[in-house]
Structure 1
C-alpha cells in the first residue's frame, strides 16, 4: 500500500476523509474504500491498495489506445490496476475494472499481494527495451494516481513520454498535478447525454466536458473516442452534438468513432452497424473536424490520415499495420507543406 497526499481530513466527521483523486470526491469512513474500491481510509489516512500491483501489463501498438497522432507505429508499455470510478455497463475490461465490487475478498487479497512493478522497474524496462512511452490504461488511471504520478515523474526525467487512456473524470487537483508530466490523453466521450452518464456509467457529463477543455488548455495532446452503442448514443442528433462540441474546442482534435460489440451487462445489445459508423464519420467531417477515424472494424480508408488541406495520404492504417507515406515527414505534408498537428517524435 502507498500513503497518499490526494485527500483531506473532514473536521466534522471523526476519522472520515475526502478523496481528491477524481470528481466523485468520495467521503470515506475508517476502514472503508471509495467508489473505486482501491482507495482505503486507514485510521484517517488514505492509502492506495494497488500501488506497484498492476492487474495487466502489456506491450501494445500505440494505435490500440487509440492514439493516431502520437508516435505512430511505435510500441507503448501499458499497465493498469483493478478498480474504477465508473461502472459502465458496457465495459470491455469489466473483469479488472469491477473486480473490487465483484470479489468481496478483494481488499484482503490485494493487501497480501506483493509489489511486482514499482515505478523504477517500469521506467528501467522501457529504457532497456527502447520503448518510448508508458500508457496508464486498461482501467481508469486516475484512481491509482499516486502510482501513476510517481511513474510519470521518473519517466519524464528519463526522456520517456506519458499517456493516459481515461474517462476524463479527474479532479481539478489531479489535472493540475499531472499536466506537466502528461504528454497525451485519449478521453472517452461516451455520450452527450447526462442521463446516459448517470444511468449507464455512474458519472456526470458536465465534468468530462470541462476536463476535456482543461487538458487541451494545458497543452496536453488530446484525442477523443466515442463507442457508438445502438439505441443508446447513436442518434444523428447526439453524434452531431459531440462533433460540434469538439469543433468548438479545436477542429484538429482527432475523434475516434468506435464500433460496439456486446459486452458485460450489455451483451444482449446488437453490434453497431457499419452504416451508423459511416454516418457518424460524415457528421464529424461536416462539423469541420479535420481528423475523424472509425475503429474496431476494418474499413476502407476511414482509419487513414490525410492532409486536411490537399487530401494527400500521409499515414495508411489497416488494423495495426501502419505505413507512413513518403509524403509525410517532420510533421508536415510534403506536398503542400501544411503542418499536421500531433506529437510525431
Structure 2
C-alpha cells in the first residue's frame, strides 16, 4: 500500500488498486499514473477555446486529454472521460503516445499555427508525471506547455511543473467551502493555494461556471473577484454560462443577462473579465 500526494484526499492505495480519481494506482509499492501517455482526445484548437484570451491570442495549440478526474462535478461536460465509473469503454479506446511522439506531433503542427501542447479535457494534474516529461521536451523545441485544470493539487507534489508550464486556465468553480465540498467533492482551499503559487510562475487565467442557485449571487462573485485581485487585478476571469447536462438537469441554463450582470460585479475588482457560452 502507498499514499498518493496529489490532492487533499491522500488516498491510501493498495497494490493494484486505484485512488478516487480512478487513475493513480499502486505498483510495486509506489503510486504511479495508470493513464501515463494514454490519450483519448487530440485536436488542434484555437488558444481562446481553452479559454486563454491573453496568451498568444489568435494562435492554435495542440490539445490532448486522457481520462480520470479528482472531482465529481455533476454538470461535467466531459464525464465520459472524467468520472472514473464512466470511463470503462473510453479507457479501452485510449491510445498510448509517448512524450517524444507527442513533442514530434506538436513540432509538425507548427506549420498549422501550433504553439505547443495544452493538457485538457480531463484533469491533467492526476498524471502530472506525463506532463512533466513532455513539457521538458517541448521546452527544448521552444514550444509552449499549457494546462487546463481544476487546480486541486498539492503544490509540494506537483511543484516541479511550474518551471515548465507557460500558461494555465484554472477553474475557480465557486467561492464557498460548501459548494466545493458538497457539490463537487473537492477542497476550495487547495485550489486557492494552487492558484496563489501558479501566478508566481506562469500566465494564469481563471474560469467560473455560473450555475443558477449555486454560485450566482452578487456577493459570491464580488468576494471571488476581490480575492483574485488580492493576487493581481490583471488576472483574467472568465464567467461562463451553465447548460443543463449529465446529472444536473434540474434547472435551466444560466440567463445571459445574469452572466453579464455578474461580469459588471467582477469588473469592480478586475481589469479583464470575459463571458463564455453566451
TM-score (norm 1): 0.76
Q: Secondary structure at the match of 1:143?
A: helix
Q: Which residue of 2 aligns with 1:163?
A: 146
Paired with 2:213 and 2:245, the residues of 1 have a C-alpha distance of: 15
Offset at 1:121?
1.2
Paired with 1:293 and 1:175, the residues of 2 have a C-alpha distance of: 29
Offset at 1:134?
0.7
Paired with 2:164 and 2:32, the residues of 1 have a C-alpha distance of: 23
Pick from 291, 305, 323: which aligns with 2:272? 291
Paired with 2:50 and 2:129, the residues of 1 have a C-alpha distance of: 22
For structure 1, the 5+ residue unaligned runs are 1-15, 298-345
Pick from 61, 65, 71: which aligns with 1:76? 61
Offset at 1:247?
1.1
CA contact (8 A) 2:170 2:204 kept: yes
Moved more, 192-201 or 23-32: 23-32
CA contact (8 A) 1:22 1:142 kept: no
Paired with 1:247 and 1:114, the residues of 2 have a C-alpha distance of: 40
Pick from 211, 215, 228: which aligns with 2:210? 228
Q: Secondary structure at the match of 1:280?
A: helix
Pick from 8, 18, 22: which aligns with 2:7? 22
Offset at 1:22?
2.8
- For 1:306-345, list aligned pairs within 5 A: none
Q: Secondary structure at the match of 1:36?
A: coil
Moved more, 119-128 or 184-193: 119-128
Paired with 1:285 and 1:113, the residues of 2 have a C-alpha distance of: 44
Size of the alignment, in residue pairs? 275
Say what the alpha-carbon RMSD is for the aligned residues: 1.6
Q: Which residue of 2 aligns with 1:148?
A: 131
Q: Which residue of 1 aligns with 2:223?
A: 241
Q: Which of structure 1's runs of 4+ aligned residues deviate more than 6 A?
A: none
Q: Secondary structure at the match of 2:68?
A: coil
Offset at 1:124?
0.7
Query: Does residue 47 of structure 2 align to residue 65 of structure 1?
Result: no
CA contact (8 A) 1:76 1:133 kept: yes
Paired with 2:182 and 2:5, the residues of 1 have a C-alpha distance of: 23
More helix by share: 2
Q: Secondary structure at the match of 2:20?
A: coil
Q: Structure 1 residues 208, 90: closer, same or farther in 2, change over 3 A?
A: same
Q: Which residue of 1 aligns with 2:238?
A: 256
CA contact (8 A) 1:57 1:78 kept: yes
Q: Secondary structure at the match of 2:163?
A: coil
Q: Secondary structure at the match of 2:173?
A: coil
Query: Does residue 55 of structure 2 align to residue 47 of structure 1?
Result: no
TM-score (norm 2): 0.94
Offset at 1:51?
1.5
Paired with 2:181 and 2:166, the residues of 1 have a C-alpha distance of: 30
Offset at 1:115?
4.8
Paired with 1:151 and 1:291, the residues of 2 have a C-alpha distance of: 31
Q: Secondary structure at the match of 1:265?
A: coil
Query: Does residue 184 of structure 2 align to residue 201 of structure 1?
Result: yes
Paired with 2:241 and 2:169, the residues of 1 have a C-alpha distance of: 16
Query: Does residue 160 of structure 2 align to residue 180 of structure 1?
Result: no
CA contact (8 A) 1:167 1:187 kept: yes
